[in-house]
Structure 1
Amino acid sequence: MSQKHSFQAEVAQLLHLVTHSLYSNKEIFVRELVSNASDACDKLRYEALNNSALYEDAPELRVRIALDKKARTLTITDNGIGMSAQEAIDHLGTIAKSGTKDFMSKLGADKQADAKEQGQLIGQFGVGFYSGFIVADKITVESRRAGLKPEEGVRWTSGGTGDFEVETITRPERGTSVILHLREDESNSADEYLSAWKIKQIIGKYSDHIALPIQMRKEEWKESEEEGKPGEMVTTDEWETVNKASALWTRAKKDITKEEYESFYQGISHDYEAPLAWSHNRVEGSTEYTQLLYVPAKAPYDLWNRDKKGGLKLYVKRVFIMDEAEALLPSYLRFVKGVVDSADLPLNVSRELLQESRDVRAIRDGNTKRVLTLLENLAKHDVPATDASEEDKAEAGKYSKFYAEFGTVLKEGLGEDFANRERLAKLLRYASTTSDTATVSLADYKARMKEGQEAIYYITADTLAAAKNSPQLEVFKKKGIEVLLMTERVDEWALSYLTEFDGTPLQSVAKGAVDLGKLQDEAEKKAAEEAAEAFKPVLAKLKEALKDKTEDVRVTTRLVDSPACLVVKDGEVSNQLARLLKQAGQKAPDSKPILEVNPEHALVKKLDGSVHFHDLAHILYDQALLAEGGLPEDPAAYVKRVNALLV
């Protein structure tokens, strides 16, 4: 007796999108379903390490694809771990991954979105089973979990609408069969997937690397017995392997084509696009392992989802162990995809043991260094394609693409990876007062520092416009000194771990008193000292008027056109970071800023003897706060003061 169940709401929405042909490349469903079948075999092999009885009477693992032109079905069968009835309900009726609603809202938000982009999202999310509904108007799944009795098999059936049916069946063999009932329409576009030649071509394109044999019925040419009638291809009872059936990472690099590397990446990542770059190496020594590491071209939508697990596929002596081995890479490289195959780890290694293993730490360090070397090579050749030499053209512009997608997460490494901090610092890129785009490296900046300049200057702000127009930059612009513009939330936190680059200190222009050292001549210094002395009485009154808001009030030489600005002491949290902490609901350090005033500005000169001194003082402070992206504590009082002076 069958039981009817409703799909999880997100699955129903997903199926609606899939059945309306989100994938511009429909053949991708073969890759997804074959990949799932391969995973099921990997899982059986892993569970059988502790229970060899799970193999039953079929120790040879394989995937088989059968075509039935009369019934219009395409069946993909594996003899892997299989599913119980409850697992079929859980796995095929829900998307059991975090961030589902965010994913679905992004997928359905733009109705005009490019089909390729939406297909990529589905692939990245790893819900490949549902891709079968691109070509099928009904899917039947028959399965039995390894170790269960034949009569404990399950049949799952759905037309891809709002519900599915589940019933108990007798299934002698373990594993899973996914039966696609191909849809019929006016164009009969699904008919091509009943061609053995077409399926073999797709397997060669997407699944040739899979380390299990993928088998199809052998076809032979049969001459017609009737004279004058053409012969035809007929299907035999013999199964033949149609893929190479060897793990790609175990083969020599010289024997692997670019297309094979790209296809393997797409298979393990479910990414629609080809990777940006990859590194394939066999490491020998005290710890032996093979690594095949990929840098994606695009950041996954859930890169910042804290619940999302990342990591590499881990194999031990070619036996699949786990899908997302997080211990094999540091968190700031969580975007890297790939495979590690160890010759030294025990086959029963667990996530807990991975954290404690000396071999794993060696593999992690090796993977980290390999990825950084790969990025350094991309950065080295990062020139516009039009300017690139023949040698550099293949890599031209790739690092800029990488940094636009992953530069923010790379900055996390400054605080997480002390051993590689210097290498990471060389990979960072920022906008500056000479470039609106994040293309300026610290090495570039240092190479064009002015003679006598003793620090690398930077400013942090909420936006590029706020950074570029900050009053604190005025004296630097006047003297032609380049300042790095940092506008990401991670910047100030990251720079607390990077106080110098190649022996040159990094200095925020919004912290401490401005000191341009040799870049400021003696006449300027003397004029500043005289102005400060003459302005002492006004400063004393300002300090009294603003004592509840400021730590200090002082004359500055950093301002040219603006009357005032706010700074903090060296070593203290900047005003911008304090605002970000408050916005995030975290407690910001209890400190007051310093108000710096420009004694040459008309508004500041007007303070001396003004009957509106108290109001002008507060307006100066609030305007300085506004200029750096903050808001007055009492906006209504600010407006009232300004209006009173205007009247």
Structure 2
Amino acid sequence: MSDTTQAEKHGFQTEVKQLLQLMIHSLYSNKEIFLRELVSNASDAADKLRFKALENDALLETDADLHVRVSVNKDANTITISDNGIGMTRDEVMTNLGTIAKSGTKEFISQLSGDQSKDSRLIGQFGVGFYSAFIVADNVTVRTRAAGADKAHGVEWKSAGDGEFTVADIEKTARGTDIILHLKDEAKEFADEWKLRQIINTYSDHLSIPVQMYKEPTPESEGPDGETVPATPGEWETINSGQALWTRDKSEISDDEYKEFYKTVAHDFDEPLLWSHNKVEGKHEYTSLLYVPKRAPWDLWNRDSQKGIKLYVQRVFIMDDAEQFMPTYLRFVKGLIDSNDLPLNVSREILQDNRISRSMRSASTKKVLSMLSKLAKNEPEEYAQFWDNFGQVLKEGPAEDQGNVEKIASLLRFASSHGDSAEQRVSLDDYIARMADNQDKIYYIVADSYAAAKNNPALEIFRKKGIEVLLLSDRIDEWLMSHLHDYNEKSFQSVTRGDLDLGDMDDEASKKAHEETEKAFEGTVERFTKALGEQVKSVRVTHRLTDSPACIVTDENDMSTQMAKLMEAAGQKVPETKYIFELNPEHALVQRIAEEQDEQRFADWAELLLQQATLAERGSLKDPGSYVRKLNQMMLDLTNR
């Protein structure tokens, strides 16, 4: 190798500087993961070359024997991880080793708390990759050349992890990448071949690419019985089994092996919550190994973020993040699919409209939903933890996956008016099981918060009659309910939409009393209608209230309050909704206002009552200043009487 050209100095992306410092100081208790990460990256590089060589075998140059090699130099206190895979160009080095090419990195950094144990877990969810080298090394050198490039187009990258790195052009005879770690004094334990062999056997035994370490030559010697033991030459020895874990029979794989494989494939420090290993034979033949993590990844809410499914065809790695095999609402699922039916040169575009990939997607989706159903039934406490992490994402399902709405709905969990807190949740099956015999609807309310939902005036009649109402307060809930129309032959009914109909739960005597009250209150309703004019869609008497004087509800066909807020938050124009203003004729305040003879004073009271009801439903007013002034004036008038 010739001397390098003049090295150019560059600064790390700000987020990389922060991440490096956090890793160096937070991951001290789990240092050995650096080798898992670097060997995994090297194996991926070899896999990618093998795939690209299917179309262009010239990329293999004169070396088709793909491998990863790990070597130690005790005198220099270095470890070198080498591969003869795809390699990198200068531009790729700048992109991959100088920045973190993930959207939302700043949001990730903002979540870090400074607590080493918590940050360690979060960094693990982010995926540390190459930068894990700095956990054990105070200087890192990378020498690389892209497959197919001239040997003069090698690149050398160096950094001490202190905020800067240098890049220089070099001559590199062999394609691929060499990473040389100059170990810190406190990491000298890793400059030991047996230590490295043990780590590789623990974390990387399943890799299909051979992982090799050098076996020193031995001279000719005399055996214990006087026989001559011939000399052996030095050679690179493969130390991993080389058999992809998912190709083995399930009965031969221990839980620990499944867990370690998950950490490699998901770049996660935690063990998985559950997994499913399936071999499908028949019309289509493929193997899937799917994992559900214990904790949500930091970028879970980025729907455009890369997904967690790797695609193999006949054990040949094809692509990372094959989103075609898992719907977006299950984007937290990690793992792989290995198909015997897809062509080796399959592309993302072909997968999009491919009958085989659609079939595998459908089966994999049902498998994950089945795993979660079993967890919910058999281990409700574990499922509650899953829901805390992934529940809001699962709520995207009914809108995205009409074919599995019933299965998804059975997995949903909601707070309830029968519960004591937002954390006390029920399933729809629980709700239906304790419905009254004559109840034919699942009642719910959507509000800005659990407290707002629980204290909404519209719940008063339900509380009086002991009817359970689901309390929804996540931002996505209104969107969810617009796609969830019924479950187990029970329709959903918002308690703040349309006219209240309790069906058979209202006895004939109550219905007759309501009709008489409405008739007696017709004149007052007309006065409110005239006073409020265009501010409301209509005014009517309600029997949904017991303690509050009034409320507003949306017409059955109009956009709900929460849907309007959701669209406004997304920057969309929303047509103004006129509410139906409902009066509680039994309330003393409404009766007192009805007695008011001064029409202007009556109109002021009517408007004040409407604003109060709007505040209770929407949580805000368009003109709060006007409301405060009017309220102050009315209180002064009462004081001066």
Question: What is the TM-score when the length of structure 1 is the normalising length?
Answer: 0.92
Q: Deviations over 1:201-229 (max 9, x none)?
A: 2222221211111111236999999xxxx
Moved over 4 A (4+): 219-225
| Letter paired with 1:148 | A
User: Which of 252, 258, 261 is the matching residue for 2:258?
Assistant: 261
Identity over aligned pairs, percent: 54
Q: What residue is the counterpart of 2:43 in the other structure? A: 38
How big is the shift at 1:263? 0.9
Q: In structure 2, the residue corresponding to 1:217 is in which secondary structure?
A: strand
Q: Deviations over 1:114-133 (max 9, x none)?
A: x2432333333334111111
Q: What residue is the counterpart of 1:617 in the other structure? A: 606
How big is the shift at 1:351? 0.9
State the alpha-carbon separation in 2 of the partners of residues 79 and 183 from structure 1: 27
CA contact (8 A) 1:45 1:319 kept: yes
* Within-5 A mapping of 1:416-431: 416-431=400-415
How big is the shift at 1:295? 0.7
| Letter paired with 1:614 | A
| Letter paired with 2:528 | L
Q: What residue is the counterpart of 1:584 in the other structure? A: 570
Residue ranges of structure 1 left out of the alignment (5+ in a row): 226-234, 384-396
How big is the shift at 1:98? 1.5
1:464 matches 2:450: yes
How big is the shift at 1:573? 1.9
How big is the shift at 1:465? 0.3
Residue ranges of structure 2 left out of the alignment (5+ in a row): 223-231, 637-641
1:190 matches 2:187: yes
State the alpha-carbon separation in 2 of the partners of residues 350 and 488 from structure 1: 38
State the alpha-carbon separation in 1 of the partners of residues 483 and 563 from structure 2: 15
- Aligned pair count reads 617
Which has the larger displacement, 153-162 or 254-263? Answer: 153-162
Q: In structure 1, the residue corresponding to 2:289 is in which secondary structure?
A: strand
1:406 matches 2:382: no
State the alpha-carbon separation in 2 of the partners of residues 438 and 486 from structure 1: 12
1:200 matches 2:197: yes
User: Which of 334, 339, 347 is the matching residue for 1:337?
Assistant: 334
* Within-5 A mapping of 1:125-144: 125-144=126-145
User: Which of 428, 434, 445 is the matching residue for 2:418?
Assistant: 434
Q: In structure 1, the residue corresponding to 2:234 is in which secondary structure?
A: strand
Q: In structure 1, the residue corresponding to 2:321 is in which secondary structure?
A: strand
Evaluate the alpha carbon distance shift between residue 619 and residue 463 of structure 1 in structure 2; reply closer, same or farther with a 3 A threshold: same
How big is the shift at 1:571? 3.4
Q: Deviations over 1:3-30 (max 9, x none)?
A: 2222222222222323334453111111
CA contact (8 A) 1:21 1:134 kept: no
State the alpha-carbon separation in 2 of the partners of residues 445 and 643 from structure 1: 45
* Within-5 A mapping of 1:258-407: 258-383=255-380, 397-407=381-391
State the alpha-carbon separation in 1 of the partners of residues 624 and 32 from structure 2: 60
* Within-5 A mapping of 1:68-87: 68-87=73-92
State the alpha-carbon separation in 2 of the partners of residues 289 and 622 from structure 1: 62
State the alpha-carbon separation in 2 of the partners of residues 350 and 169 from structure 1: 34
Q: What residue is the counterpart of 1:546 in the other structure? A: 532
Q: Deviations over 1:24-72 (max 9, x none)?
A: 3111111111111011101111110111121122211111111111100
Q: In structure 1, the residue corresponding to 2:533 is in which secondary structure?
A: coil
CA contact (8 A) 1:216 1:242 kept: yes
| Letter paired with 1:359 | I
1:626 matches 2:615: yes
User: Which of 53, 62, 66 is the matching residue for 2:58?
Assistant: 53
Q: What residue is the counterpart of 1:105 in the other structure? A: 110
Q: What residue is the counterpart of 1:146 in the other structure? A: 147
| Letter paired with 1:65 | V
State the alpha-carbon separation in 1 of the partners of residues 566 and 424 from structure 2: 22
RMSD: 2.0
Q: In structure 1, the residue corresponding to 2:320 is in which secondary structure?
A: strand
How big is the shift at 1:593? 0.8
| Letter paired with 2:391 | G
State the alpha-carbon separation in 2 of the partners of residues 292 and 488 from structure 1: 32
State the alpha-carbon separation in 1 of the partners of residues 501 and 541 from structure 2: 13
State the alpha-carbon separation in 1 of the partners of residues 563 and 92 from structure 2: 47
Q: What residue is the counterpart of 2:639 in the other structure? A: none
Q: What residue is the counterpart of 2:15 in the other structure? A: 10
Which has the larger displacement, 530-539 or 209-218? Answer: 209-218
State the alpha-carbon separation in 1 of the partners of residues 569 and 529 from structure 2: 29
CA contact (8 A) 1:615 1:641 kept: yes
Q: In structure 1, the residue corresponding to 2:270 is in which secondary structure?
A: coil
Evaluate the alpha carbon distance shift between residue 91 and residue 633 of structure 1 in structure 2; reply closer, same or farther with a 3 A threshold: closer
User: Which of 27, 39, 60 is the matching residue for 2:32?
Assistant: 27
How big is the shift at 1:236? 7.9
How big is the shift at 1:431? 0.7
How big is the shift at 1:241? 1.9
Evaluate the alpha carbon distance shift between residue 422 and residue 70 of structure 1 in structure 2; reply closer, same or farther with a 3 A threshold: same
Q: What residue is the counterpart of 2:226 in the other structure? A: none
